[in-house]
Structure 1
Amino acid sequence: MLNENIVLKMKDIVENCMGDSEAACKSNCPMNTDVKSYVRLIGEGKGQEAIKTIREKLFLPGTLGRICAHPCEQNCRRGEEDSPIAIASLKRYAADNFDDSNSWDISKKAKNGKKVAIIGAGPAGAQGAIDLAKEGYEVTIFDKLPVFGGMMRVGIPEYRLPREVIDKEYSILEKLGVEVKLSTEIGKDISFEELEKNYDAILIAVGKQLGRIDRSLENHNAEGIFHAAEYLKEISLTKDFKGAGKRVAVIGGGDVAMDCARSSKRVPGVEVVYSIPLESTFEKMASSNHEIHGAIEENVEFKLGNGINRIIVDENNRISGLEIKKCLSLFDENGNFNPQFDDNAKEIIEIDTLVFAIGQGVDNSFDLNQSLTTRRNGTFESDKLTMQSVSNEKVFVAGDCANAFIVIEAMAEGRRAAKSIDRFLNKKNLEEGRNIESEGGYKTKLYLPTEYLPEGWDSAEKVERLIPGTTDGQERIKDFSEVERVFTKEEATKEASRCLQCECKLCMKECIMLNDYTDCPKTLFKEYLEKGCEEMDAKIAYSCNMCDQCTLKCPKTFDIKSNFGAMRSEYVKDNGGKSPMKGHKAIEVHQYLGYSKMFNTTNAAPNGKKTKYVFFPGCSLPSYNSTAVGNIVDHLQDKLNGEVGSLLKCCGKPPKALGQDDLFKERFKSVQKELDKVEAETVIVACQSCYGIFNMYAKQNVVSLWELLPEIGLPESQIGVGKNSDVKFNIHDSCSIRKQTKIHDGIRWIMTELGYDVEELENSRDKTRCCGFGGMVVPAVPDVAKRVMDRRAGETTTGHMVTYCAACRESMEKGNADALHIVDLIFGEKYEKAKAKKRNMGPAKQWMTRYKSKMELNKRK
């Protein structure tokens, strides 16, 4: 069993890893549209692929591209840097240019013999009809309007949403065989009870067609006073409003108020239009900025921060004027809507038409027997997830009459309702396996601080958000032609290029091995916690190089390496104390030899001096350059008063890396015994892995050779040896000491003292990348190790790598870089390009060299 701390770490990753979290644009979209993908495709010039991606979720791309309230943009990460991506405008670009009805997906299952009635042909009803038709249901839509689109059509002006766009997109209903009965009012032309009797399920998706008038005002019933719903409906159907005069005032500060005001400018005979919101500034108004801006361009006159004091009528009981007064505040101290006015700041304006745009309600009068439970605003009580009515199990609701406020929310509810109806009619649980996150908008866990944004994101930093142009304000009010134009290809490409393509796959992009086994750490560790090591391929745990690069890249700095280490320990326990990987048998041989008398030696300081220091070269360096091992000891003896002994032995890192915890303790105990035997005070290590092990487990002080040399100096004969060399080196820093700045500095000091030129790699010091040798991956999963080696070696900008780890040096050469250990420079002649050669040796030669290192150390007893 994994220890509790590791289980908690894994659970923390499972709960909080953002690797599978969607970008805010997708999560905030109630239909979960893959915004990121289609924006990227538009940027790549792949319009047909983009519209195909959009249509996987939306049957109204052209409509939504024009009128969607685009919640996707509200939390766009780009918006925190400058301004959000113009997602809706890009959607319209794709729809207007690439949406071919012949390529629409109209596949559906065979008819199942069940019938569903839908009341309302708005976006909620239409979406429900599409989804149910595809599942094989016989679907009939009833709508009292003579046209498609419901309140979306008669409530949104034509200059914003051309009717041919709606008709084209709604034609999918006919293609899918949905029967649509327009000009058919439930409760009048056909009763609700008849629908209950003749259909297996009913989806109510009626819009908010009841407008509000402030009936607390005297003369509220005078001629010339209307509510927004009736006003916009008549204008939508006739491009006129017979009851309008010459001077119109619109009460309200939302989008509907702007629609009424701007529509009024286009109604024949209207000369002056006033907009009267309670809000004192444009910024405080509920309406969209572009709607306010459009109204200003069309010469709508704003009376900001005012409310009605009284309605003035003429002798024929027609409104003739309006007395307004200054609004001092909208809300009381408890946050409740409670406008306060200044009775000393009044003004009279001359009008003959007044439109209230102060809210709308649902007309539920078709339910004559009031069999359905409703709320105070007329909407129907239903389960928020399943959309099933709380009072009639075969009735479902969606859209304005349920919980939706915008078109795309209505569509999402229509889809949820259709799914529930399908389950209901197949006698399945309506809730099982479902949640709002997968069937509606939600707040994503994904958030990337600026430093974790995609590489190169700031290349678009100075690119302003593009806004589609509009026709001239004074020309466009002459008719109801569309005001806003569509992006050109160049504009769409430029705007799409601003997208940051938000995702937290930083560890996946960095780690070569993770991509072989999972899509993100969350998925991997969730599976492990569910299945345990018995059902997980051990190869996964033993592919980790233990380099910590994933943690370095992770915005939440999850400790992933230790989880793989713990998994290894479990595999070892279940495998009789040994690694389950066949390739690790070579490590057993290596360890057997590494602890044998043949290749071990312990030497106290010579000449009877106190052994204050012990030089510990590790395993790799003695197997690479025995002469340098001897030279190092000589130099240390010279600089440290001869009080230097030596110990040639493995520190025990291999069994620790394999998960052989007990064996490691036993092995290191033998190392500690040798150190204690010579009564050493300080261990000088040349190997970075040894540095970590000794720091954690040794009784003695530990110092790296590479931080010590800057303190004691280099051999005098080597100062400046590399001056005027034709080689410029890259330094490969070992990942195991990525946090040891003093060692990094020491290596660079040495290179400067030697006189060699250095060009820093992008991934160096604390951001260095693994060489591929760590974690005992090479014998276990050689293909992973080779890919890591090739990537790191391929990063050289000069062709020449210098390392301070012999294992790293070997890896760099395997990756086809000219690679030296820094000791080759410290104790060698000037290095030039002509001296480049392969230096790797096979196992036999390495062991022979290690034996020579033993002899070198023994010479210096």
Structure 2
Amino acid sequence: MGVLPKEVMENMKDIVDNCMGDSNPACQSSCPMHTDIKEYVRLVGEGDGEGAIGVIREKLFLPKTLGRVCAHPCEAGCRRGDEDKPISVANIKRYAADNFDNPVNWDLNKKPATGKKVAVIGAGPAGAQAAIDLSKNGHEVTIYDKLPVYGGMMRVGIPAYRLPRNIIDEEYSILEMLGVSVKLNTEIGKDIDFETLKKENDAVIIAVGRQAGRIDRSLKNHDAQGVYDAAEYLKEISLTNGSEGVGKRVAVIGGGDVAMDCARSSLRLQGVEEVYSVCLEPSYEEMTSSMHEVKGAIAEGVKFNLAMGTNEILIDDNGRVKGLEIKECISIFDDEGRFNPTCNEDNKKMLDVDTVVFAIGQGVDSGFDKKETLAKRKNGTFETDELTKQSVNNENVFVAGDCASAFIVIEAMAEGRSAAISADRFLKGEDLMSGRTTEEEAAYKTKLELPTEYLSEGWDAAEKVERVIAKELDPTERIKSFDETEFTFTKEQAEKEANRCLQCTCKLCMKECIMLNDFTDCPKTLFEEYLEKGYAAMDPKISYSCNACSQCTLKCPKDFDMKGAFMGMRPEYIKDNGGKSPMKGHSAIEVHQYLGYSKFFNTTNKAPEGEKTKYVFFPGCSLPSYNPEAVGNVLGHLQDKLDGGVGSVLKCCGKPTKALGQKEKFKERFGEVQAEIDRLGADTVIVACQSCLAVFSEYLKQNVVSLWTLLPEIGLPDEKYGIGKGSDIVFNIHDSCSARERSDLHDGIRWIIDNMGYKVEELENSREKTRCCGFGGMVVPANPDLAGRVMKRRAEETTTGHMISYCAACRESMENGGADSVHILDLLFGETYTKEKVNNRNMGPVKQWMNRYKSKQELDKKSK
């Protein structure tokens, strides 16, 4: 077996390397857990909430929680957001979870017990995710947490009005269902020695979060009564719905989500009358907090002090905060981009407060590691391998969540899963790195980049559907308690919002090409198989099912030449099969070519006697086999109108052999055509076939023109102007795909039809966007079922039921597909065409060859 030419192989590799057909949409790739967002949003939009929650739970054990508190990086990546506003993914997830999640359906399948023990320090989302995955892999897992409740920092750092505690407890119940042992109120390093824990377990997962709050200790009186760090402040509020020692007027320092949580929580505390926010950023938009949280704080009555930094904490005689002096912040970062605020010392003001909460960041509490055996980074997080999460100096210790590199809940879960994969491999003695990539285990930038017009057929960016906003409790009511402030979408809201999704995907070639769908789910998949197995191991029917219409390339945002790949394989199949096509059906082409080059069905004529042959009319194969009278009439008209003698050649241009991949046979047969034209001594060849036009334009020595561009120049027969004005038919026009790039042909055809007076209604897929008729690529004998479906699809696009073609093969295909189909020459050299004259014109091969012989006679007659 041969080897494909280098250019064909490189073309395939380019498709495999750069095809976006299997690329996830940005929402999914930007989700660290790679939730199939597009799919569950689609299911919600279709009213299938049960199906949606099934898809969600394939990846997430906290759908209700994440529906409320996820920072939704998926929405930041949403393609719709580039044109409008992103899909409200979190609220759609929450709708599906709140209404359709049922513990009965949770996946509790576990592999057989391995006898291995794993300890997990921390019951937050990272630790819980790791515990779930390891338990399902058959390991004995125990979670330790110093808090008395599930959820870690997610539980004590996120206020109850955003995340009700019963939701956490409900979703964490899966741990008990899986047999995970959870020991709350148990502090490692105090109740259990860390070294002992490592020795008693085969692996340890550290997922302690960032529980150490920060206070600006450069400020005088930073340790005064009434000064809190955000972590301890929120934890106390979470556990007690209060905070011992809080006063009436609270200032919260910081501009992030934690600061907003502190400020909004303070408003709900008994005795608090006023809450101030102090942040360095000069505008709400520049704050690091989400705008939703900022807007919530404003609505609830938090008083913002933008572009302000702290200057001094004032205390009373009892050491209690009595005021906070703040000053104008001029810039936050220095010229090198480092955090280095600059303030205007001449612009200060005093806030009358008795409580100051610092929400300026949190650190990792590594106190459990008394001997400091774990390597740490400068920022206090534990140093691990970026992919495996294995500690760099403790091989049986793995780290996940905020104490590794996560910042949000969904990232913590993804790191918990990565740590679990690594721990599982470690326990089995397997390579931790083999076959793993960050794209599989973390958020990444997708290759899927689509212009708006490719996203959703018929979507008009100007016709925007407003993003659905969930209803909330009235601000004056919600600050009276820690009850949840935001409501779940109704069914109507969820479906309306879900149906805003553009369902981003790049399988536009698959949507367009019937053939590709018969053999693959994506070009990348198919050509990967070719590169892996070799073309000889693949079914040649695939290559010979390509219509060579290039519509896949037309639709592809990257213009991949898939036709070139399929057609490039055909010559190799021909070589391997002794010069013949491997497709049995192509034996009919061999017969066609034999007859098409026989003297009985061929003729070459000089211009009529007394004239020098300046032009040669070349009608091709299909037209002479369909309408011999039209062939003769065209030659007669050309002889009447052109200044110079017109001869003719009736012969095949050789395109069928070229299409099959018979390169040598094509050279031989085209050489015969070239010799006949040379013998006539003509300067210009006039073709009525678009395939002949393409072949001659590439190979013929003489000048080549199309009949359809020539007729507008020389005019129609005088009696044919306006002949169609009395017709009761409105036509569609089928443009040949082989002439897709020839706008001059499109214009010429329409000029002819317009001057004949027939009415036309343009198809959506016309001119340069035309669709294949099903005849191209010699597909009909190779894969007749496919050809029939392509013909039917194209014929069904007619909006009037009547189609004009300017290729006889296309005309036959349109009729095979079910449309009334005429060749433009039927109209040009016939009577006025009306609905009464509609009839089937297709004929069998015997009649076609009889017509071919009659065409020979017509051409011979016109040359005498």
- After the TM superposition, which of the residue ranges 96-105 and 353-362 deviates more from structure 2? 96-105
The Cα shift of 1:802 comes to 1.1
Q: Aligned runs of 1:578-657 on 2, under 5 Å?
A: 578-641=580-643, 643-657=645-659
TM-score (norm 1): 0.99
What residue in structure 2 maps to residue 345 of structure 1?
347
What residue in structure 1 maps to residue 421 of structure 2?
419
8 Å Cα contact 1:606/1:642 also seen in 2: no
What residue in structure 2 maps to residue 528 of structure 1?
530
The Cα shift of 1:708 comes to 0.6
Q: Distance in 2 between matches of 1:663 and 1:389?
A: 67
What residue in structure 2 maps to residue 661 of structure 1?
663
What residue in structure 2 maps to residue 776 of structure 1?
778
Q: Aligned runs of 1:444-455 on 2, under 5 Å?
A: 444-455=446-457
Which of 325, 336, 339 matches 2:338?
336
Q: Distance in 1 between matches of 2:377 and 2:452?
A: 45
Q: Distance in 1 between matches of 2:856 and 2:812?
A: 21
Q: Distance in 1 between matches of 2:221 and 2:258?
A: 23
- SS of the residue corresponding to residue 487 of structure 2 reads coil
The Cα shift of 1:6 comes to 2.4
Q: Distance in 2 between matches of 1:641 and 1:374?
A: 91
Q: Distance in 2 between matches of 1:523 and 1:52?
A: 27
Say whether 1:368 aligns with 2:370: yes
Q: Distance in 1 between matches of 2:114 and 2:338?
A: 52
* Amino acid paired to 2:556: C
What residue in structure 1 maps to residue 155 of structure 2?
153
What residue in structure 2 maps to residue 852 of structure 1?
854
What residue in structure 2 maps to residue 483 of structure 1?
485
The Cα shift of 1:608 comes to 2.7
What residue in structure 2 maps to residue 37 of structure 1?
39
8 Å Cα contact 1:804/1:821 also seen in 2: yes
8 Å Cα contact 2:124/2:152 also seen in 1: yes
- After the TM superposition, which of the residue ranges 466-475 and 85-94 deviates more from structure 2? 466-475
- SS of the residue corresponding to residue 325 of structure 1 reads strand
Cα displacement string for residues 570-593 of structure 1 (whole angstroms, at most 9, x for unaligned residues): 211222222111111111111111
8 Å Cα contact 1:212/1:357 also seen in 2: yes
- After the TM superposition, which of the residue ranges 98-107 and 177-186 deviates more from structure 2? 98-107
* Amino acid paired to 1:784: L
Which of 73, 76, 79 matches 1:77?
79
Q: Distance in 1 between matches of 2:571 and 2:182?
A: 66
Q: Aligned runs of 1:114-133 on 2, under 5 Å?
A: 114-133=116-135
The Cα shift of 1:365 comes to 1.3
- SS of the residue corresponding to residue 203 of structure 1 reads strand
The Cα shift of 1:458 comes to 2.3
Q: Aligned runs of 1:177-326 on 2, under 5 Å?
A: 177-326=179-328
8 Å Cα contact 2:280/2:306 also seen in 1: yes
What residue in structure 1 maps to residue 844 of structure 2?
842
- After the TM superposition, which of the residue ranges 804-813 and 194-203 deviates more from structure 2? 194-203
What residue in structure 1 maps to residue 465 of structure 2?
463
What residue in structure 1 maps to residue 559 of structure 2?
557
Q: Distance in 1 between matches of 2:463 and 2:250?
A: 45
* Amino acid paired to 1:136: G
Q: Aligned runs of 1:47-86 on 2, under 5 Å?
A: 47-86=49-88
The Cα shift of 1:385 comes to 1.1
TM-score (norm 2): 0.99
Cα displacement string for residues 678-728 of structure 1 (whole angstroms, at most 9, x for unaligned residues): 111111000010010011111111111011111111111222111121221
Q: Distance in 1 between matches of 2:260 and 2:487?
A: 19
Q: Aligned runs of 1:94-105 on 2, under 5 Å?
A: 94-105=96-107
- SS of the residue corresponding to residue 29 of structure 1 reads coil
Q: Distance in 1 between matches of 2:432 and 2:31?
A: 23
* Amino acid paired to 1:525: F
Q: Aligned runs of 1:782-793 on 2, under 5 Å?
A: 782-793=784-795
Q: Distance in 1 between matches of 2:781 and 2:317?
A: 101
The Cα shift of 1:460 comes to 8.6
Q: Distance in 1 between matches of 2:269 and 2:256?
A: 20
What residue in structure 1 maps to residue 411 of structure 2?
409
Q: Aligned runs of 1:2-41 on 2, under 5 Å?
A: 2-41=4-43
* Amino acid paired to 2:682: A
What residue in structure 1 maps to residue 769 of structure 2?
767
* Amino acid paired to 2:136: K
Cα displacement string for residues 777-809 of structure 1 (whole angstroms, at most 9, x for unaligned residues): 000111111110010011111111111111001
- SS of the residue corresponding to residue 513 of structure 1 reads helix
* Amino acid paired to 1:703: V
8 Å Cα contact 1:219/1:313 also seen in 2: yes
The Cα shift of 1:817 comes to 1.1
- SS of the residue corresponding to residue 157 of structure 1 reads coil
* Amino acid paired to 2:616: V
What residue in structure 1 maps to residue 804 of structure 2?
802
Q: Distance in 1 between matches of 2:522 and 2:223?
A: 64
- SS of the residue corresponding to residue 458 of structure 1 reads coil
- SS of the residue corresponding to residue 312 of structure 1 reads strand
The Cα shift of 1:459 comes to 7.9
Give structure 2 stretches of 5+ with no counterpart. none
8 Å Cα contact 2:613/2:680 also seen in 1: yes
Say whether 1:753 aligns with 2:755: yes
The Cα shift of 1:392 comes to 0.9
* Amino acid paired to 1:531: K
- SS of the residue corresponding to residue 249 of structure 1 reads strand
- After the TM superposition, which of the residue ranges 165-174 and 833-842 deviates more from structure 2? 833-842
What residue in structure 1 maps to residue 387 of structure 2?
385
Which of 688, 702, 705 matches 2:704?
702
Q: Distance in 1 between matches of 2:760 and 2:495?
A: 41
Q: Distance in 2 between matches of 1:462 and 1:563?
A: 40
Q: CA RMSD in A?
A: 1.0
For residues 460 and 500 of structure 1, do their structure 2 counterparts lie closer, same or farther at Cα, with a shift above 3 Å needed? farther
- SS of the residue corresponding to residue 341 of structure 1 reads strand
The Cα shift of 1:642 comes to 5.3
Q: Distance in 2 between matches of 1:699 and 1:358?
A: 79
* Amino acid paired to 1:174: E
Give structure 1 stretches of 5+ with no counterpart. none
- After the TM superposition, which of the residue ranges 148-157 and 693-702 deviates more from structure 2? 693-702
The Cα shift of 1:110 comes to 2.1
- After the TM superposition, which of the residue ranges 566-575 and 387-396 deviates more from structure 2? 566-575
8 Å Cα contact 2:605/2:860 also seen in 1: yes
Say whether 1:439 aligns with 2:441: yes
The Cα shift of 1:8 comes to 2.2
- After the TM superposition, which of the residue ranges 836-845 and 155-164 deviates more from structure 2? 836-845
Cα displacement string for residues 292-329 of structure 1 (whole angstroms, at most 9, x for unaligned residues): 00111111111111111111111111211111100000
Q: Distance in 1 between matches of 2:262 and 2:97?
A: 27
Q: Distance in 2 between matches of 1:731 and 1:303?
A: 68
Cα displacement string for residues 162-187 of structure 1 (whole angstroms, at most 9, x for unaligned residues): 00110110011111111100000001
Identity %: 69
